[in-house]
């Protein structure tokens, strides 16, 4: 809807305005449009949830600020208190600061310092909403199976979709990658898949409660990767650690310089790092691509009604195509993260090698 309204305004307003008014409006729009702020303002975290702008006035949902100062202790207040001003010694650092767009205060020397920040930001609030939505979907599916006999009645609608996804991921990914004791790890891997998939989908929705760049936030993907790292290395068996600390390679690669064990130990950390960066980079790039396509409407606003209108139509159509492509990417990224996590877990539980007897 927002894109459609933008297209209508971009086409209709230039055609109905007087030439002089059009030139003034276009030059003002050109001067005020900041591409960097447009792109990063949509994907970065914030202390409020911006909904829309009406007559130049932003409409947003204020969120709770929870900070602890080293000198004055804990402070809890609405983020609306920080709109363009300082409150209780705290303010949002400008873009020129090293703490850009973060809440800061000044110490006794006047230098900017960052307090302990546990605020409910846009991404945190989005996680709460999406987490509650995921719990609702899972419990609703479980309730259906509790009331119906799945062998006699085929589930339909959302329940049928959930059964299809669960069966596809567990039977086609987890079972093959992990091995015979796959059921022990299915709860985590299925939770990771649906959590990432739902947050990816909600990130594409351009209106509240969607639009939060959750899986495009490296802090979120870091925590997800750490879960896999913990499971792989805590539940790995003796053969897994033997292959790392004393791999089956020529002795000169292990002593006196432990070359291969060092490479294997580095690999312990590169696996979760790849999980973290892959999910973060792909989702962030997807958001940038969609925003960049839509930005054509604003970048060509000063080039005349015909060119702006034509490129605006192309931009909207391409934006719709990119949104549809992001639906596929949302599933693929959740699938890839789950698949690689399952593979890493499976590799941490190899079967012990049996001694071969010779005749």
What is the secondary structure of 158-227 as a DSSP string? HHHHHHHHHHHHIIIIIHHHH-TTGGGTHHHHHHHHHHHHHHHHHHH--STT----STTSHHHHHHHHHH
Each residue's pLDDT tens digit in the chain (359 positions)?
444 434 433 433 333 333 333 333 444 444 467 777 778 888 889 999 988 888 878 889 999 999 999 889 999 999 999 988 899 999 999 888 889 889 999 988 889 999 999 999 999 999 999 999 999 999 999 999 898 887 778 888 899 999 999 999 999 999 999 988 899 999 999 999 999 999 999 998 888 888 899 999 999 999 999 999 999 999 998 999 998 988 888 888 888 888 899 999 999 999 999 999 999 999 999 888 888 888 888 888 788 888 888 888 888 888 888 888 899 999 999 999 999 999 999 999 887 765 444 44
DSSP tag of 79? G
Q: Return the bridge partners of 62, or none.
A: 48
Q: CA-CA distance, 295 to 316, in Å (whole number)?
A: 10
Helix (H) or strand (E) holding 104: strand 103-106
- pLDDT score recorded for residue 190: 96
* Cα→Cα distances 63→153, 221, 236, 253, 310, Å: 45, 23, 42, 56, 39
- pLDDT score recorded for residue 354: 55
Q: Where are the domains of the chain?
A: 64-117, 122-347
- pLDDT score recorded for residue 309: 84
- What's the number of CA atoms in the CB half-sphere (13 Å) around residue 9? 11
What is the end-to-end Cα distance of the chain in Å, rounded? 77
Name the pTM for this structure: 0.84
Q: CA-CA distance, 28 to 281, in Å (whole number)?
A: 34
- pLDDT score recorded for residue 149: 81
Q: CA-CA distance, 217 to 45, in Å (whole number)?
A: 8
* Token code pair at residue 100: 């850009």
């Amino acid at each position: 809807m927002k894109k459609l309204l933008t297209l209508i305004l971009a086409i209709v307003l230039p055609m109905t305005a007087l030439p002089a008014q059009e030139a003034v409006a276009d030059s003002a729009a050109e001067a005020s449009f900041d591409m960097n702020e447009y792109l990063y303002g949509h994907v970065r975290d914030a202390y409020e949830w911006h909904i829309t702008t009406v007559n130049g006035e932003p409409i947003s949902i204020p969120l709770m600020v929870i900070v602890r100062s080293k000198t004055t202790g804990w402070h809890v207040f609405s983020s609306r208190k920080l709109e363009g001003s300082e409150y209780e010694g705290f303010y949002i650092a400008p873009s020129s600061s090293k703490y850009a767009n973060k809440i800061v205060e000044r110490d006794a020397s006047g230098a900017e310092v960052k307090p302990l920040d546990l605020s409910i930001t846009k991404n945190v609030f989005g996680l709460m909403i999406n987490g509650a939505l995921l719990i609702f979907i899972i419990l609703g599916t479980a309730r259906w199976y509790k009331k119906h006999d799945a062998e006699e009645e085929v589930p339909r609608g959302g329940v049928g979709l959930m059964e299809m996804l669960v069966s596809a991921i567990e039977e086609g990914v987890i079972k093959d990658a992990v091995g015979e004791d796959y059921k022990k790890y299915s709860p985590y891997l299925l939770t990771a898949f649906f959590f990432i998939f739902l947050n990816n989908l909600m990130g594409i929705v351009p209106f509240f409660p969607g639009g939060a760049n959750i899986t495009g936030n490296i802090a979120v993907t870091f925590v997800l990767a750490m879960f896999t790292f913990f499971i792989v290395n805590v539940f790995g068996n003796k053969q897994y650690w033997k292959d790392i600390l004393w791999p089956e390679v020529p002795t000169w690669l292990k002593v006196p310089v432990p070359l291969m064990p060092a490479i294997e130990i580095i690999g312990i950390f590169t696996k979760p790092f790849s999980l973290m960066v892959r999910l973060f980079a792909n989702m962030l790039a997807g958001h940038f691509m969609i925003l960049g396509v839509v930005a054509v409407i604003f970048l060509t606003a000063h080039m005349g009604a015909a060119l702006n209108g034509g490129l605006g139509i192309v931009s909207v159509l391409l934006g719709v195509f990119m949104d549809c492509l992001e639906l596929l990417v949302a599933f693929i990224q959740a699938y890839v993260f789950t698949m690689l996590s399952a593979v890493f877990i499976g590799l941490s539980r190899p079967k012990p090698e049996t001694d071969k007897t010779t005749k």
